[in-house]
Structure 1
Amino acid sequence: MSRSEEFEDLRPLLFSIAYRILGSVSEAEDAVQDTWLRWEASATTPDSARAYLSAAVTRISINVLNSARMRREAYVGPWFPEPLLEDPYQEPERSAELADSVSMAALLLLERLSPLERAAFVLREVFGFDFPEIASAVGRSEAACRQLAVRARRHMDEGRPRFEADGNQRDELAARFFDALADGDVNGLRELLAADVSLVGDSGGKGPQFAERIVGAHNVTRVLAALGGAFARVGGVVEPHQLNGQPGGIFRDRDGKVVNTWTLDILDGQIQTIRSVINPEKLGHVGLVADPWEVLRDAQLARKDSASSPTPDADHHLTPEPEQQEPS
């Protein structure tokens, strides 16, 4: 097998490692490309291409994350990972575990770890690398790597997200939710939401944002009914789609351009959290990106022109200007 063929065989694994460390599709793709350039230029032939390339992409990802963390500290409003349409690395016998490890909630927990802890956790707990391989990847002793992994596992266990175990039940509930959203069915929406459900978005100051984290079934239902109806009246379409291994949807304008994405945390037969990514800079890999401000203006005009809107007072939950953002 040629060197390029070996690399292509391992590309799904390399991307999946990088994405879990970085939380960014674009940065993970760049890390994989940099790994290829180093592999192509290397004159050595390692005993294990998998170990060599995994170590290389991990080191590159750690370096990128160290600089990215400073940018994220200055980020406007909540920061969410870039939505992942599909994880290219699959192990059928561990599909549920791999999907949970790439969920929005799990990736946000990983943000609490140091870059070295994050890398050690991803390599050990998600992909099952042994400690000599992890030590080579992060440049620490095996003993230090064991300590990193223990600390990381403890932090993750303390806040580990819980999801509906039955994937079919999750998908069925998500389908009912998006049908109710499209129909403006207030009662149908309310019965699917947990009492303390929260709706929160990531715009990065580059798109419309919720004026505050909206909490509670009554408040969230009111906003969903208003926005869903207005979006439909301007030709918007919600495309149910698995995102980050969990139920979600892609919102497209009348021209099919991507406006934003939603992911749904579902537990005990109810939606616990709705996370929206509307920052255009995080959506380019999903498709052509719409101007979110233009879509919002059109939707607001449509609502004002319609006497049938179920909740005419819901516009106050949206900021009219990009600088008015939800606090972190």
Structure 2
Amino acid sequence: MTRAEEFTEHRPLLFAIAYRILGSVAEAEDAVQEAWLRYESSTTEPVSVKSFLSAVVTRIAIDVLRSARVRREAYVGPWFPEPLLSDPYSDPERSAELADSVSMAALLLLERLTPTERAVFVLREVFGFGFPEIARAVGRSEAACRQLAVRARRHMAEGRPRFEADRREREELAARFVDALREGDLHGLTELLAADVTAVADGGGKGPAFAHPVAGATRVARLLVGFATFMDGVADLAFQRVNDQPGVVVRDREGRVVSVLALDVLDGRIQTIRTVVNPDKLGHLGPVADAWRLRAEALARRRPARGEDGVP
């Protein structure tokens, strides 16, 4: 098998590792490409290609994350990971762990960890690497990596997200959510939301997003109905798995992405709605709509024409 073939075989795993460390599709893809360049130019033959490539992409991702954190501190408004509609890596025996580890909630929880803790946690808890492999990947001793793993597990356990166990039930609830949203059904939406539901948006100062989190079933339902009514005629929405959890993708009439909603579902209710509107985080999903233009168009459609309602 050639090096190119070996790399292609492991590429899904490398992307899965890099994305969970970085929370960015673009940065993960860049890290994977850099790992290939280093592997292609290496003069040594690794004993385990999987271990070698995983270590290389991990080290690259750690370096990228350290610089990315500086940018995230200056980010306008809430920061969310770039939404992922399909994870190329699959392992039937670990499907549940992989799904939970790539959720928006889990990735945001990983932000509490240092870059090295995050890498150790991802390699150990998500992908099951042994400590000798992890030590080589992060440049620490095995004993240090064990301590990092314990510390990371403790931080993650403090806020570990919980989701509805039955995938089918989550998707059915999300489908009902989409139907109610399309219809502007305030009562129907309220029934699907947890009493303490929270809606948060990531616009990054580049997309129209509500400035502060909105909490409570009634307030969130009214916000959603207002959004659906406002966008009626200029955009459509459809159910889509987002970061392996139920979600919604909003597109304009030409099929361009406007925003992505990720839904956390527990106990038969939607607990959290995270919306990504920042166009910089949507480009990997296809052509991106001009959300500001759509907003202006929606406003124009609802503005009374001259001469209506007694206005000269």
TM-score band (shorter)?
over 0.9
Q: Confirm whether residue 285 of structure 1 aligns to residue 284 of structure 2.
A: yes
Q: Confirm whether residue 131 of structure 1 aligns to residue 131 of structure 2.
A: yes
Note the alpha carbon deviations across 1:9-29, whole angstroms, 9 max, x for none.
Answer: 000000000000000000000
Q: 1:297 corresponds to which residue?
A: 296
Asked whether the 8 Å contact 1:103–1:246 carries over to 2, the reply is yes
Q: 2:95 corresponds to which residue?
A: 95
CA distance in 1, matches of 2:136, 2:244: 30
Report how far residue 298 of structure 1 moved.
1.7
Q: 1:43 corresponds to which residue?
A: 43
Q: What aligned pairs does 1:90-169 form with structure 2 within 5 A after superposition?
A: 90-169=90-169
Asked whether the 8 Å contact 1:233–1:302 carries over to 2, the reply is no
Note the alpha carbon deviations across 1:35-91, whole angstroms, 9 max, x for none.
Answer: 000000001001000000000000000000000000000000000000001111101
Sequence identity, in percent? Answer: 67
Match of 2:99, SS state, is helix
CA distance in 1, matches of 2:284, 2:6: 25
Q: 1:85 corresponds to which residue?
A: 85
Q: Confirm whether residue 258 of structure 1 aligns to residue 267 of structure 2.
A: no
Question: Residue type matched to 2:112 in 1?
Answer: R
CA distance in 2, matches of 1:30, 1:72: 18
Asked whether the 8 Å contact 1:24–1:81 carries over to 2, the reply is yes
Asked whether the 8 Å contact 2:77–2:211 carries over to 1, the reply is no
User: Considering only aligned residues, what root-mean-square deviation do their CA atoms show, in Å?
Assistant: 1.0
CA distance in 1, matches of 2:30, 2:269: 37
Asked whether the 8 Å contact 1:201–1:275 carries over to 2, the reply is yes
Q: 2:22 corresponds to which residue?
A: 22
Question: Residue type matched to 1:217 in 2?
Answer: A
Q: Confirm whether residue 269 of structure 1 aligns to residue 268 of structure 2.
A: yes
Report how far residue 201 of structure 1 moved.
0.5
CA distance in 2, matches of 1:2, 1:19: 26
Q: 1:305 to 1:9 in 2, by over 3 A?
A: farther
Report how far residue 198 of structure 1 moved.
0.8
Q: 2:310 corresponds to which residue?
A: none
Report how far residue 249 of structure 1 moved.
1.1
CA distance in 2, matches of 1:201, 1:305: 29
Report how far residue 97 of structure 1 moved.
1.3
Q: 1:178 corresponds to which residue?
A: 178
CA distance in 2, matches of 1:130, 1:225: 49
Which shifted more, 212-221 or 276-285?
212-221
CA distance in 2, matches of 1:92, 1:169: 20
Asked whether the 8 Å contact 1:81–1:107 carries over to 2, the reply is yes
Asked whether the 8 Å contact 1:238–1:252 carries over to 2, the reply is yes
Q: 1:246 corresponds to which residue?
A: 245
Under a length normalisation based on structure 2, what TM-score does the superposition of the two structures give? 0.96
CA distance in 2, matches of 1:80, 1:15: 18
Report how far residue 186 of structure 1 moved.
1.0
Query: Is there any run of 5+ residues in structure 2 with no aligned partner, and where?
Result: 306-312
Report how far residue 305 of structure 1 moved.
5.0
Asked whether the 8 Å contact 1:257–1:287 carries over to 2, the reply is yes
Query: Is there any run of 5+ residues in structure 1 with no aligned partner, and where?
Result: 307-328
